[in-house]
């Protein structure tokens, strides 16, 4: 198994119990906020969707509010959304300096020490007095996220350089208001581990969940936002991603609700980009390996010929996904198939060059 698929396997273990997982690594803007909010419309109880949407938007604002321009071009951010058991978790990570660290500690400890009524009183006090600290907001965002979630904010600081820290923040929402959860919220340390994997391995995007058309339409525009100045993601990367998604939708094993689920990741590599996916499949193992082997043996001319022939066929969905993925990848497709109690799990990956 390649190092890339080993990483995908590690992510699969991290998200094993999640109903939905999403991590985004890059600059935040309104597009990201809107698409995140669109995704959560598929998860959680209706009563908490508004609170989740508010906290997503406020988390982004919190990152912008404490961003320091002198940290340089490497000052990128990580945002995560995870659903597990009784909770939905919103996670964010960004770089801050020492002086901001102490301000945040004081503010978070202040709101975490207050009960529901005290938070309401503090919220009203800020509204009435308009008190604003040097970073803006007078802590209003932290107060309101704590009020809406009904749980203390979880946070961590990890030193990454002299007087520079990674500030990790997590907000925990119970899926059903008024019903006591039967499990504990996810510890922020678990998300900090994922955050470290994301940063260390230059992962731009991770998604685990359903791959229905509506959900895919929400996260595909987010991939475009993974482009950074001087590094615009080539169109063929999106075509390769589409091929992976088609493969999941065609060969994925449906769950009890008839939904196709899978895991997808996009990462930066020295050659360009690496796209990969994992899902339980209904396809026979020998048949799947034979398809991938045949595609890997084909040269560019043969691949183009096959594509033209398959494109003209009426029922071509069972082949076009993998074929498109192979056409746009720089090297052979990578395939790893494993068996467990649930069935056959297939991981596919490919390198897509910049040029």
Residue 127, pLDDT above cutoff 70: yes
**287 or 29, which is more confident:** 287
Confidence of residue 130 (pLDDT cuts 50, 70, 90): low
Residue 138, pLDDT above cutoff 80: no
Residue 66, pLDDT above cutoff 70: no
Any residues with CB less than 8 A from the CB of 252 and at least 6 apart, and which? 211, 260, 261, 262, 279, 280, 281, 282
Confidence of residue 44 (pLDDT cuts 50, 70, 90): low
Confidence of residue 135 (pLDDT cuts 50, 70, 90): very low
Question: How much of the chain, in percent, has pLDDT values that exceed 90?
Answer: 42
Quote the mean pLDDT of the chain: 84
Residue 352, pLDDT above cutoff 50: yes
Average pLDDT value for residue range 14-29: 89
Residue 279, pLDDT above cutoff 80: yes
Confidence of residue 75 (pLDDT cuts 50, 70, 90): low
Cβ-count burial 217-235 (b if 16+ within 10 Å, e if not):
ebbeebbebbeeeeeebbe
Residue 249, pLDDT above cutoff 90: no
Q: What is the predicted pLDDT for the residue at 320?
A: 67
Q: What is the predicted pLDDT for the residue at 251?
A: 86
Residue 23, pLDDT above cutoff 90: yes
The neighbour count for residue 12, using CB atoms within 10 Å, is 18
Domain extents in the chain:
202-355
Q: What is the predicted pLDDT for the residue at 153?
A: 96
Q: What is the predicted pLDDT for the residue at 227?
A: 65
Confidence of residue 330 (pLDDT cuts 50, 70, 90): confident
pLDDT tens for 1-10 read: 799 999 999 9
Q: What is the predicted pLDDT for the residue at 134?
A: 45
In angstroms, what is the C-alpha Rg of the chain? Answer: 22
Handedness of CA 275, 281, 286, 291 (dihedral sign): negative
Phi-psi region of 261 (alpha: psi -120 to 50; beta: other; left: phi over 0): beta
Residues facing 340 on adjacent strands: 343
pLDDT tens for 297-327 read: 988 888 888 877 776 665 555 556 888 888 8
Average pLDDT value for residue range 102-116: 91
DSSP secondary structure letters along 99-161: HHHHHHHHHHHHHHT--HHHHHHHHHHHHHH----TTSGGGHHHHHHHHHH-SPPEEEEEEEE
Report how far residue 278's alpha carbon sits from residue 248's, in angstroms, rounded to the nearest whole number: 8
Residue 85, pLDDT above cutoff 60: yes
Confidence of residue 137 (pLDDT cuts 50, 70, 90): very low
Report how far residue 59's alpha carbon sits from residue 154's, in angstroms, rounded to the nearest whole number: 13
Average pLDDT value for residue range 8-36: 87
Report how far residue 164's alpha carbon sits from residue 70's, in angstroms, rounded to the nearest whole number: 11
Beta strands in the chain (DSSP E): 18-26, 77-84, 87-97, 154-161, 164-174, 203-210, 261-269, 272-281, 334-340, 343-353
CATH architecture entry for 202-355 = 2-Layer Sandwich (3.30)
**263 or 134, which is more confident:** 263
**269 or 33, which is more confident:** 269
Confidence of residue 198 (pLDDT cuts 50, 70, 90): very high
pLDDT tens for 203-243 read: 999 999 998 777 777 778 888 877 655 567 888 898 889 88
Report how far residue 214's alpha carbon sits from residue 268's, in angstroms, rounded to the nearest whole number: 26
């Amino acid at each position: 198994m390649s190092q890339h698929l080993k990483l995908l396997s590690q992510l699969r273990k991290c998200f094993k119990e999640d109903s939905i997982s999403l991590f985004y690594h890059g600059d935040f803007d309104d597009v990201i906020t809107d698409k995140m909010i669109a995704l959560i419309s598929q998860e959680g109880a209706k009563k908490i969707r508004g609170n989740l949407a508010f906290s997503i938007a406020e988390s982004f604002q919190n990152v912008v509010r404490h961003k320091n321009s002198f940290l340089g071009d490497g000052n990128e951010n990580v945002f995560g959304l995870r659903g597990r058991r009784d909770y939905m978790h919103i996670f964010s990570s960004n770089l801050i300096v020492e002086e901001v660290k102490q301000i945040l500690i004081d503010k978070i400890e202040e709101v975490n020490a207050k009960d529901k009524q005290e938070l309401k009183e503090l919220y009203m006090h800020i509204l009435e007095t308009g008190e604003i600290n040097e970073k803006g907001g007078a802590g209003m965002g932290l107060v309101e996220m704590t009020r809406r979630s009904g749980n203390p904010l979880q946070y961590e600081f990890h030193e990454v350089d002299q007087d520079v820290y990674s500030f990790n923040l997590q907000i925990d929402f119970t899926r059903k208001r008024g019903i006591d959860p039967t499990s504990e919220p996810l510890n922020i340390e678990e998300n900090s581990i994922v955050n470290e994997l994301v940063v260390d391995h230059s992962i731009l995007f991770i998604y685990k969940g359903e791959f229905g058309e509506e959900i895919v339409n929400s996260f595909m525009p987010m991939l475009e936002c993974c482009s950074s100045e001087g590094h615009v993601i080539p169109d063929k990367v999106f075509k390769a991603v589409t091929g992976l998604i088609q493969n999941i939708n065609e060969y994925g094993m449906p769950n009890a609700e008839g939904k196709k689920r899978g895991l997808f990741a996009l990462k930066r590599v020295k050659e360009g980009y690496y796209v990969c996916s994992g899902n339980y499949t209904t396809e026979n193992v020998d048949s799947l390996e034979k398809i991938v082997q045949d595609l890997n043996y084909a040269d560019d001319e043969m691949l183009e010929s096959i594509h033209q022939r398959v494109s003209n066929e009426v029922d071509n969905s069972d082949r076009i996904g993998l074929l498109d993925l192979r056409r746009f990848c720089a090297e052979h497709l990578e395939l790893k198939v494993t068996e467990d109690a649930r069935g056959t799990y297939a991981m596919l990956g490919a390198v897509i060059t910049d040029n």
